[in-house]
Structure 1
Amino acid sequence: MYLMKVVLVERRNPGQLSMLPEIEALTRTLGYEVVEKISQVREPDPAYQIGRGKVKEIERAVKLHGAKRVVFANQLTPTQAFNLSKALGVEVLDKVQLILEIFAMRAGTPDAKLQVEYAKLKYELPRIRERIRSIVAVEQPGRMGGGEYEVQVHYDAIKRRLVSLRKKLATIEKRRELLRKRRKKLGFKLVTLAGYTNSGKSTLLNALTEGGAEVDDKYFATLAPRTRALKKSPKILLTDTVGFIEDMPPMVVEAFKATLEEIYLADVILLVLDGSDPVHEMMRKYKACMQFLENLDAKIVVALNKIDLLKSPEELEEKLKILNSAASTVVPISALKGENLDTLIETLRMNT
């Protein structure tokens, strides 16, 4: 089986943790083969994000391995993306485009597919505008050359498609709002599963309900919301949502507003964390999730998942102590082994 070869690149600030492990996991989700990883610690370069010398190093790595793509752990401006692609001679993706490619692969419902298409086109639009600007710069002023004309036609077509998609997404939001109002009228309480992507939310959804959600250890396995009744409390509904990731751009969040609204309208948010992560990683992910959740009215219950993978009771005690200093309600569980789920259900009952 042929795997597309890619070179991973990151630019990080002094003292910032490396983003390469996470971006590598995202890349492997798409089935790419990572042939080289390049990192640089410096302030961002306006034209290339990284230093000019590093651009040459990446170019050598691309030629050496026959890589077809370069993937940046950073978010690139349209100018940076254009300059890098031109200098390297291959397609350059940033973190946002990588996430959107995974979303496109994972989108299994018509609603999710519309949301993905909207996000991808909205992100592509300023990049096409940059291409038009660069073509105009080398062609005769005042005349629309062939290259500019083709790109302009594509640009206008995307703008029209975005208008159409916005209308369709507004219809989706209205339909979901009607469903939520009906649930509330019938006396149902809504608990929304949230958490960093790949934290075990789908496994927990299956453990607490009648099951049936796809369980996958790859990133962003869930795009469309799934709502089911809690096994032992049928008046409490549990909804799974798309996983968070650090620095998820606002335009991605906007595209998935219909999905993420399940969080904003919940009575309780069940925030799932991966307890097998090292402490610093666990708290990094907790803080990334709280960027989305901290201004909400809903109560937040933290489920520290995967405690069956911990090496000792002391490790669990240490992690609970640190988490309890940041969160008001923390319940240690193993969704896979069914450990402490009765306590979690009782905690949810008490908070709805």
Structure 2
Amino acid sequence: MTIRRLTLTTAALLSSLALAACSSTTGGSGTGGDSTGATITIRIPEDGNSGVLALGKKDGSLARALAKVHAKVQWTGTSGPFAPAAQALDSNALDVAQGSITSATAALAQSPGFRLFAATAPDKLGEGIIVKSDSPLHTVKDLAGRKVAVWHGGTAEYLLLKALQQNGVPVDQVQRVYLQPNQIGPVYASGQVDAWSTWATYAVPQLAGGKSRFLVTGGEVGSENYAVWAVRTGFAEQHPEVVRAFYEYLHEAGLKQQADPAAYLNVNTTAGPEAVSPAQQAVQVPIDRARGTVEPINGADLEHFHTVARFFADQGITKEYLDVKPYLIDVAALPKEAR
């Protein structure tokens, strides 16, 4: 099978990052930034009312971390599915975004304008296929002849296909209903689909208070769906020290979140549609405590990434196998300050 490759090797990319760090450059949003002390602007999606970026914005810790490398944040839009974020990275409308290796693999096959610089181990508790608590479905085999809501080409479709393969259910016996994640809730609630393959953002509200249950979790299907952080290629080449500083903030904040997950919920408000209810907190806290923090991408991670890429190619989600290696940055090798 043909392997898609870039002309830049990983070593060449790191070399270009180091060279770029030595020169005067322009920030991603047009704000100058270099070793003279001019401010670099890094565009980041809002994290809403919960998470390490939400708290970092409120308490100023993210601003302080970036100020050390003469950078500041411009909050751009809100975090969500990675596919639109990848398009924004590719079109120079965004500088960093978080997604999954499944969605990143699908996006790289179409819009390779970004690189991956950090990863978090797969979420074994918060991702999976949910059904209503009173559903007659109790095993993955029960999905035969049923409709399952998914978001195309990412976590949701990956988890469903993995579950079907693991349980010997032919793919063509299950109807995939493709919808955007924020459209699925009403469809699921009305009974137009029998199950919903999704991740914690959407699963937790459904699981809270016993309204739904997991038919199977990511951990139970052996998911290799790492969470990954992506950076626009041009930004990484111009400002490697900012990428490293941002990574270090994410790493340290993630350790603190793992130790005290509740402190990272309801950062701005305890009321309104963004608020995490007590019932949702009861579901979310164990998920956050079980997860690790972001780390540099190592060789073992890359093997898992390639397993995912082969799986997507075999399942026809991507047209061909995508070699992920040329799209990686060794964040630990990036400079800590502008040169």
TM-score tier, shorter chain, comes to under 0.3
Q: TM-score, normalised by structure 2?
A: 0.27
> Which structure is higher in RCO with an 8 Å CA cutoff and minimum separation 6?
2
Structure 1 or 2: larger helix share? Answer: 1
Return the index of the structure with the highest Cα Rg: 1
Q: Provide TM-score, normalisation by structure 1.
A: 0.26
